[in-house]
Structure 1
Amino acid sequence: MTPLLNTLRAGLGASLRTECRSFVTAATQPATWTHKSVRTGVIARKKGMTAMWDEWGVRIPVTVLQVENCQVVKVLNEETDGYTALQIGSTDRTEKNVTKPMLGHFQKAGVSPKRRLIEFHVTPDAVLPVGTELLASHFVPGQFVDCAAPTMGKGFQGAMKRHGFGGQPASHGTSVTHRSLGSTGQRKDPGKVFKGKKMAGRMGGEQATVQSLKVMKIDNGLNLIYVKGAVPGVDDQFVKVRDAVKKRGDRIAPADVLPLPFPTVDPKLVKAMPRELVAKTGGADPYVMKE
């Protein structure tokens, strides 16, 4: 029995050593981006709108977003929190303007206090360690992103502006009710106005998401992201930017820039990159008349 036990122990030890070696190798190797991978997003600040021109001279309106001191503050996992996510903080602030509980939260993470915290759900292979800094090069020119932020507040507005109603007839017989809401109820039955009726009220200031916006340019010097089109919110508003959910797989970006930086871009590589990275538009000259 003794030789048999020795053989079993040797075999068990060899298999255990093999499993440990494979685990260490997998932990040290960099993660690989797949079509099912979900990366974290970043918190940017809207700086306004400008315009770009492509190689054909076509004007492209773009919104400028700046990534400012964006870091990972906390990692949430399945075992303790029930889901996998990263808590991202943006824009440093002084300690005197932070409550003691939040100050302890930032000190535990080893990062400076932040003005805004947002959670991004990620897949387990896209988890980043606490303190990791996210840069504008987390995205690549030509890829599509979703931008979410509170819309501009417009105050108390009437039904026509708030809900797009057509108004009353602008003809003879209508007396100072051209922009009126009109009837809001029915007859004696039910004898009330239903809840949720579109009426006058406060307009704007609600969370909105604009999907599938194309990244036109990345400025590595100033950490700027140039996004084609309009983004919700006023200037200097915090904007949640992440990979487009409706452009999964190969549709997320052109083939020549895939795979995306995963789980994020290496700061050492950013220093070796050109300051500006511009998306390719390609195609035929739009000003040439077709025969």
Structure 2
Amino acid sequence: MGPGTDGPRQRPRLPHRTGPQSRLSHGDGRLPRRARSPLNATNGATDRDVRNLPALTGARWLAALVVLVHHAGLAAYLSGEPQRSLLTVGRVGHVGVIFFFVLSGFVLLWSTPPSASAAAFWWRRVARVVPLHLVTAAAALLLGFTIAPSLGPRPATGGWPATIANAVLLSSWVPTWSQAGDPVSWSPGCEAFFYALFPALALLAGRLRARGAWAHLVGAALGALAAALAIDTATLDLSRVPLMRLPEFVAGVAWCRGAPGRACAPPWRCCCSPSGG
């Protein structure tokens, strides 16, 4: 419209603001619900900042393969020189388990998105681990009553109480029960304990600077060494007790917190403060 004509007035266009308030506000100064949530106070990190680590995921599969070779050697499927070679390679199986637990702590802290809640994290872990574990536990029980009696409830491994504890991932807490039911499920039993503690560990990790994280990594490594010495000197086999393997998982969490260029994760008010380096 010309200057002298009547018509609707056009509102002056305001300059585009690119500051934090323009990205977070509704226009009236109020912050959106998600931005106000303490679960997202993660130094500006978003779910997009959480990057995948295919290299470390592949390393975890490699550690699992080493453990598989170790168990194959113990089962004596072969004979002669192939069996001796299998046993030689399988000697590093224990190292593979340690590597697996350390990587588990690293990958969990790295990959958990900032928008997640502790309840959501636990639910995802249950959905990922429990169904497959119940299937393998049922298969072990079926084999125990048919062609593999050593997998069935036996007094030597705790009988039915130990088998039930195995089904709910608790048998590894009793050294003499750790081989009840599905014998290899002592490892998921340890992981279940780690998952229960992970929100608290993430809370502590998020309050550390990178240098502090490396100091805690050294402390966790020393704790793992002390646990290994206790296992060697104990009269019972404590190598499958979750509390004895906890320093390995903690070392992985501290390693992730001290890793350069890590996206700020995860939630629960826990992750990197603005001053965290």
Answer 1 or 2: which has greater helix percent: 2
Q: TM-score range by the shorter chain?
A: under 0.3
Rg larger for? 1
What TM-score do the two structures reach when normalised by structure 1? Answer: 0.26
What TM-score do the two structures reach when normalised by structure 2? Answer: 0.27
